[in-house]
Amino acid sequence: MSLIDRYQELWRQGRRAVLRGDVDVQPFGTGCWPLSVALRLDPPTRARFADLAAEAAALVGDAYLFDHHVTVRAVDDGGLALYESALREATAGLGPVRLRFDGVVLTRSNLMACGYPVDDTASRLRARLAEALAARGADGLERGRSRDIWHTTLVGFGGPVADPRGLVEWVTDRLDQPFGTARCDVADLNRWTAAERQQHAIPIFSAPLG
């Protein structure tokens, strides 16, 4: 399945769920997000997505926001020294990751902006990280799982959507909206904390993509 087909599949499922009032909710502050390796988006891209998320949140109602990032892989809580060495090995000499963002889609649990790698650097990073973690016996959480999209989550559902039809119409108007190409120069291992209706990424350590 192509990347665009995967996003369209998520959109069809999410649209149905929102209109039926059958979304997956996670009340704010109750989530337990695992440690994750994520690409840090450049400041202009983060600013665009912050404005976009604020618009959507007004329609969602019980919404929470995120520090905008693109997850490469989640990892178990522990083994930090192994994760650091694996991340540094995976990023060494790789160069920046560039992602073109076109459109937004609903899923059963959130609203996301759709990212498309402009070359093979992103997929190489994900593959190299998987290999480096496996070589250290530190790949347990996502062993055997293949992440197949490159997105940033804009809004999570903390409860039933306040204006389902309004949200679906808002997303429909932006299904193909271009948001430009983001340059990611850093990959972080993040821990997550919740405050003021936002999930905040706390970098434990960072590796330059250079």
Residues in the chain: 210
Vertex 128, ends 90 and 41: CA angle to 5°?
65
The pLDDT confidence band at residue 33, using thresholds 50, 70 and 90, is confident
Query: Which residue in 115, 131, 94 sits closest to 207, CA to CA?
Result: 94
Q: What is the mean pLDDT of residues 102-118?
A: 98
- Segment 1-18 mean pLDDT: 96
pLDDT at 111: 97
- The second-level CATH assignment, the architecture, of 3-208 is Alpha-Beta Complex (3.90)
> H-type helices in 61-120, by residue range?
80-91
- Average pLDDT estimate for 100-120: 98
% of the chain with per-residue pLDDT over 70: 97
| Longest alpha-carbon distance in the chain | 48
- Which pLDDT belongs to residue 79? 86
| pLDDT > 70? residue 107 | yes
Please give the helix or strand (H or E) that residue 179 lies within, else none: strand 178-184
Model confidence pLDDT, tens digit, residues 81-100: 999 999 999 999 999 999 99
pLDDT tens digits, 145-193: 778 899 999 999 999 999 999 999 999 999 999 999 999 999 999 998 8
Would you state the pLDDT for residue 53? 97
Residues in contact with 72: Cβ distance below 8 Å, sequence separation at least 6, in sequence order: 36, 37, 38, 39, 125, 126, 129, 147, 187
Rounded to two decimals, the pTM is 0.93
